[in-house]
Chain A
Amino acid sequence: MRLDLGDAFAALIEWLENNFEPLLDAITIAIGATIEGLEQALLFLPSWVMILLFTLLAWWVASRGVAAFSLIGFTLLENVEFTLFGLDVAFGMGLWELTMQTLALIVTSTLLSLLIGIPIGIWAAKNDVVDTVTRPILDFMQTMPAFVYLIPAVVLFSLGEVPGVIATFIFATPPCVRLTNLGIRQVSEEAVEAAQSFGSTPRQLLFKVELPMALPTILAGINQTVLLALSMVVIAALIGAGGLGEPVVEGIQQLRIGIGFEGGLAIVILAIFLDRVTQAIGEKAGTTTQAATG
């Protein structure tokens, strides 16, 4: 007798497909609607307004440097044409719409990661058994080559943005679970005892003491989740998720160096923006929380 792991997994996916169709459809509709709505919202205002909003956001949470970077970076993503002293000037990569598509996909998959990752992280922090069980699963999710997720994702959710979000979600959730778990476990024993000794319920302990004190660590996890999600963009484009992965994939398939480079550069700009902004939010939360834990 021969045990074939691959066949077993394929059978499992087929079984899921056959028996959970309504659920899978519901998930497809919910995720599809979210990403569609976000995309439309991001493209609703003219691009120059959005560029200004991103710049102001960067200024407000991060620094002037990040704001300047955002202004230049996002402008490069758009097409700019103007006339200077009778001279027609045009520059930019014309990737605005794809960038917003990618942003919508990242935000959707990150929200899904937080929605599922943070509660699991809390549970793992409270329960050693859950911690022990989730640990290898998270390792598996993170080390399995991301391409592999595409196959079952397509089987279960067909082509397009939804399987892209699902594959991204599986790949990007582990740091969110891990760092929520770690953050809560790191809250000082005395602070927890103090909260209990004044008669906190478990819920009050969690929401008034543990989560606020773990917040900087949790935000560091969210930062990693966002960046991992961004690293899935090109891979997700292979199954028609659209966005900035598209020009890259096109560049590969047609050996067009220019298009591939522009797509890659756009991803880098978006990555730096998201990284600096989410990091700055984490640091802000950290200055009020971590200063006194020593």
Chain B
Amino acid sequence: MAIIEVEGLWKIFGGNPERARTLAKEGKSKAEVKAETDSVIAVNDANFGVREQEIFVVMGLSGSGKSTLLRCVNRLIEPTFGAVKVHGEEVTAFDEDRLRELRRTKMSMVFQNFGLFPHRTVMGNVEYGLEVAGMDRGQRREKAQQSLELVGLDGYGDSQTSELSGGMQQRVGLARALVNDPEILLMDEAFSALDPLIRADMQNELLELQEQWDPACTILFITHDLDEALKMGDRIAIMKDGGIAQIGTPTEILTEPADEYVRSFVENVDRTKIVPARTVMRDLRDDETVPADGPSVSPHTPIAELLPTLLDADGPLAVRDSDGPLRGVVSQEAVMKEVVENADGARRREARAGRTEEEPETAVA
């Protein structure tokens, strides 16, 4: 069941929003609407549902409206038209008190540039949400401590945030967001400001954390990085000019791009490096067994990385969560199919590139 539902959501800045919406519905482009009404359409009729406990990624280039869309969900930005519902309740109709209650108990947010409070210690940052909610000092210290341990910052409580590296600052941001056990985590380009290596670490840790949580957080994740979207997302929405171009699983986005825009995005992706084991994984058949202490990979391992292990394995390869339980198996056929499809894609791309290069010659001839 969808925990967040976004229905017919528009955000239009300035000018004449009613008219801008009408024009946009008639098919006028963003620039045309701007010229005619002086309105800037940031979000154009967004519709989607986020299922409980999934990671839903909204991907788009800068200016595509993805951050505005995210802020409409917790109403840091008021949507112009449309509704946002959480558990079926219309958040967009909440008064100030109910909205605050929602933000304090159910929904929290992680920011691109961390948004930490420099006048507070790490502990002071993490406990902020509990403090404003009125929890007493001892209790909130204890919860903040647990949250710090969860993100691997045990012992840093008394540090100043300015003493920490970027990666660690964002861990503080994450701990601060997790401290009130939110059901929904909004992440606005949360890892985009980090070094590539640290970014990969944080992505993996978030995926692991999300698996360990019970019940798991629902994550609405914003990024401009397709690799990140494919790695993190259970489902991905691709945004273009404020509208949603396609919603689908990583595999669907890669194999069945809805339009030219999405196709141009995904065509240069080496899928074997992105598509994780879990997307080609199937359940263990009754006539099969995998040794308990045999080789295994995590559900997030990209196919390219599991190839050597798979070649060594006798039969299907076990896919296990980090703490041990079997999630499924990956067979050589499934992986081979994926590799072939990827190679097909590459060949088609080369063919197309070759054609465009040849064109001038044909013209001369």
Contacts and interface: CB of A to CB of B under 8 A. Distances in A.
A40 interface: no
A18 interface: no
B95 to A, nearest CB: 13
A195 B176 CA distance: 11
A200 B132 contact: yes
Interface string B118-135: 110000000011011100
Given A209-B117, A292-B118, A197 B162 contact: no
Secondary structure at the B interface, as helix, strand, loop or mixed, is mixed
A166 B115 CA distance: 42
A200 B96 CA distance: 11
Interface residues of B, number: 31
A194 B109 contact: yes
Contacts of A201: 100, 132
Contacts of A199: 100-104, 129, 132-133
B115 A291 contact: no
Given A193-B76, A193-B111, A292-B161, A198 B128 contact: yes
Interface string A215-254: 1000000000000000000000000000000000000000
Interface in B88-147: 100-104, 107-109, 111-119, 128-129, 131-133
A103 interface: no
Nearest to B182: A198
B160 A291 contact: yes
Contact of B160 (A188, A191, A196, A292): A292
B162 A292 contact: yes
Nearest to B130: A198
Contacts of B133: 199
Nearest to B118: A292
Interface residues of A, number: 24
A213 B76 contact: no
Contacts of A132: none
B104 A188 contact: no
B248 to A, nearest CB: 29
A292 B119 CA distance: 8
B105 to A, nearest CB: 8
A213 B118 contact: yes
B171 to A, nearest CB: 15
B44 interface: no
Nearest to B104: A199
A208 interface: yes
Nearest to B106: A199
Nearest to B74: A197
Contacts of A196: 76, 103
A20 to B, nearest CB: 39
A230 B133 CA distance: 45
Given A197-B108, A199-B104, A212 B119 contact: yes
Contacts of B180: 198
A290 interface: yes
B160 A198 contact: no
A88 interface: no
A213 to B, nearest CB: 6
A290 B118 contact: yes
B118 A289 contact: yes
Given A199-B101, A199-B132, A213 B109 contact: no
A198 B76 CA distance: 11
B130 to A, nearest CB: 9
Nearest to B124: A208
A188 B116 CA distance: 10
Interface string B201-216: 0000000000000000
5 closest A-B pairs by beta carbon, nearest first, are A292-B162, A292-B118, A190-B115, A199-B104, A194-B115
22 contacts: A188-B115, A190-B113, A190-B114, A191-B116, A191-B118, A194-B117, A196-B103, A197-B108, A197-B109, A197-B186, A198-B109, A198-B128, A198-B180, A199-B129, A199-B132, A208-B131, A208-B132, A212-B117, A288-B160, A291-B162, A292-B118, A292-B160
Given A198-B128, A291-B162, 18 more contacts: A190-B111, A190-B113, A190-B114, A191-B116, A191-B117, A196-B103, A197-B74, A197-B186, A198-B132, A198-B176, A199-B104, A199-B132, A208-B131, A209-B117, A213-B117, A288-B119, A291-B118, A293-B118
